[in-house]
Structure 1
Amino acid sequence: MRNSTCLQPSLATTAALPAIYSFLFPAGITGNVLAARVLSKQAPTKRTQYVYLSNLVTANLLICSTMPLLATYFARGYYWTYSSVVCRIANNFGTLIMHVSMYVTVTILCLIALSQYATLKKNSDANCSQAANENLHRCVLRKFRQPEFAKYLCIVIWLTVLCITVAAIICNNVQANAEGELHSCYSIHIEAGKFTSMLAASLATACFFVSFMTVLLSYYCLNRHLSKIQKHTCIGEKHLIYGTVKRNILVIQMILTVCFLPYHVFRPVFYGLLSGNDCTKLNYLVEIKNFLTCLAAAKSVLDPVIYLWLDKTFKRSLYGLFKKSVPEHHKGKDDVFTEETPDI
């Protein structure tokens, strides 16, 4: 069923979702603006981890910027016509920013996990070209710890995701205009899209699971690496970095599992069950999808709290924004997003 009268928003869509987005917006903007200020003025921005974190904060700010638009769309979108300016903005601009930022976030989280894992696989100063074939993966991992490589990689990720999303939106609009559909803005065309949107969604879902499994594999390899070390030596106080890196990767895995995994598991189910004339089922599917999208967007609000918890350098720098000087007992090198690896 593809007509506009079949899809009817419930109170959960017109009231609960706008309320959630309205609550998330100020919290997300405030937290990420503070994070951006810390990363730009206080944190050691030449380090690889802060290249990734700066791009992550940028993506979070873009997601937060769409929240007022999303809140308005869910509250009033059913009363807008598809051809109205506000609908075009919500459909094109909102969708573009949300999806580009979401998948940049997922990819960068994967890169942070790889970079953290690479700190523990650091080779000696020998040239990569002289390494044995079995150590090739170490040479590849070393790239993820290089700031210049991280900058160019992030640029490529932004451009790739942007191009794919723009192409999907343009093709989707062309197909809709060719069919001459006239319906409200809150419709199955906006919520599910045409064939091109489904194809782009399938590609995005595949990319998510590649990132998800990469982080999971990094955590597994790290545990295996630690087990081998413990068989030959005792991990003393100077090796506490292993525990902190392990925790960082675990936190990233938890973020992907809690915030993004439900949405991407449900997405194939959503497209698989769209066919048919059951309007009740269609409404349930769309509303579940929208609440899972909201859960994914909420991750951008949680990131500054995670930085504050994991990174003591970030905590000291944030404290320094409100104080002229940092107390002596706060000083010291205790940043857990470290790029230094102790001797094994």
Structure 2
Amino acid sequence: MRNSTCLLQPSLATTVALPVIYSFLFPAGSFGNILAAWIFSRQASTKRTQYIYLANLLAANLLICSTMPFLAAYFAKGYQWTYDSVACRIAYRVGTLIMHVSIYVTITILCSTALSQYATLKKSSDTQYSPAINENFYRCVLEKFRQPKFAKYLCIIIWLTVLCITVTAITYDVQARAAEEFHRCYNVRVEAGGFTVMIAASLATVCFFVSFLTVLLSYYSLTRHLSNIQKNTCIGEKHLIYSTVKRNILVIQITLTVCFLPYHIFRPIFNVLLTKNDCPRLNYLVEIKNFLTCLAAAKSSLDPVIILLLDKTFKKSLHGLFTKSTPEHHNRKAGNFTEKAPKM
């Protein structure tokens, strides 16, 4: 790479703002996700499909949060560390590996959750109202996302696939980097990666847009489906279920748009402009990339807030931690986790 000799000069935005942001997100995200995991482990059945997806999302969130102290240290002091130092290897290499694996696991599972929500609603309405799903293959695929056994295997495959691709890309990149001489940990090659990292980043970008368009199509199809139902019949008591599913898919779409879309739009631009031999511009490109990555990581800290605002069961369970309640009341709360009215 021609620009590997370019000396990056981080601004205060990198050495101060990013460490402060990560330092704030770490305790907030860790506490919120641990609390959410504890509440759902007590209230939700492990045989429920939505719980399986939620458990994996919370696990990915906690892994992202675990990297934040290392990334905060890297951005604050990485330009002072030597490339071969232990601090550099731990703070950036390990932090980057866990961060990117968890982010793309999150994206893929969010897409699976949206399909599960959509399939649940279609299942509850097909027999009465909708002739929309006429193809057995389409019906079978949607039905799979509602099955707990399929959800477990799908999550395992997602974790293993993303982990293998990321580890392979980083391993080959580190080996290629061994022939080059670097003095500082914070440099262009570390920030941009080599050829294998760029290939992996391109695959990840494609994966994101496939997930993004799948969720968008699900929301559009659901909106059309509900519109047809309302024209043909009064949906009555099922209206609350439909509204909940529609809202949950919309929240997933907004999350993908706000937290992940900016980074995945910028990443191809970053790869193209990286080939230009312009050090001042490279500094700005690297810093923009790092802030957009931080935005994607911030999603892990916002998840508990979103769950609190949207999920009435979670809100009641959280309130129950600070109030006295009878065993019968706890049993009633546990019964609220049903596939009939799926929650986020």
1:256 equivalent in structure 2: 256
Distance 1:275 1:164 in 2: 24
Aligned ranges for residues 112-151 of structure 1 at < 5 Å?
112-122=113-123, 134-151=135-152
SS at 1:319 equivalent: helix
Structure 1 runs of 4+ aligned residues shifted over 3 Å read 123-126, 330-335
Q: Which amino acid aligns with 1:220?
A: Y
1:105 equivalent in structure 2: 106
CA deviations on 1:50-101 (whole Å, 9 max, x unpaired) are: 1100000000000000000000000000011111111111232111100000
Q: Is the 8 A contact 2:6 2:279 kept in 1?
A: no
Q: Which amino acid aligns with 1:78?
A: Y
1:271 aligns with 2:242: no
1:156 aligns with 2:122: no
1:209 equivalent in structure 2: 209
Q: Is the 8 A contact 1:36 1:57 kept in 2?
A: yes
1:289 aligns with 2:297: no
Q: Is the 8 A contact 1:56 1:105 kept in 2?
A: yes
CA RMSD of aligned residues (A): 2.4
2:88 equivalent in structure 1: 87
Q: Is the 8 A contact 1:168 1:196 kept in 2?
A: yes
Aligned ranges for residues 297-316 of structure 1 at < 5 Å?
297-316=297-316
Q: Is the 8 A contact 2:61 2:102 kept in 1?
A: yes
1:231 aligns with 2:238: no
Distance 1:63 1:96 in 2: 10
Deviation of 1:319 (Å): 2.3
CA deviations on 1:226-275 (whole Å, 9 max, x unpaired) are: 12211210122333211111111001000000000000000000001011
Q: Is the 8 A contact 2:43 2:333 kept in 1?
A: no
1:190 aligns with 2:218: no
1:18 equivalent in structure 2: 19
2:76 equivalent in structure 1: 75
Distance 1:140 1:52 in 2: 17
TM-score, normalization: structure 2?
A: 0.92
1:169 aligns with 2:170: yes
Deviation of 1:311 (Å): 1.4
Q: 1:124 to 1:219 in 2, by over 3 A?
A: closer
Q: 1:101 to 1:238 in 2, by over 3 A?
A: same
Q: 1:123 to 1:325 in 2, by over 3 A?
A: closer
Distance 1:104 1:97 in 2: 11
How many residue pairs were aligned? Answer: 335
Q: Please list every run of 5 or more consecutive structure 1 residues that lacks an aligned counterpart in the other structure.
A: 127-131
Q: Which amino acid aligns with 2:193?
A: G
2:53 equivalent in structure 1: 52
Q: 1:109 to 1:124 in 2, by over 3 A?
A: closer
Q: 1:46 to 1:2 in 2, by over 3 A?
A: same
Q: Is the 8 A contact 1:144 1:150 kept in 2?
A: yes
1:241 aligns with 2:238: no
Q: Which amino acid aligns with 2:86?
A: V
Distance 1:143 1:100 in 2: 24
Q: Which amino acid aligns with 1:207?
A: C
Q: Is the 8 A contact 1:4 1:184 kept in 2?
A: no
1:43 equivalent in structure 2: 44
TM-score, normalization: structure 1?
A: 0.92
CA deviations on 1:159-186 (whole Å, 9 max, x unpaired) are: 1100001001100001001x23223100
Deviation of 1:341 (Å): 6.9
CA deviations on 1:134-176 (whole Å, 9 max, x unpaired) are: 2321121111111111111101100110000100110000100
SS at 1:66 equivalent: helix
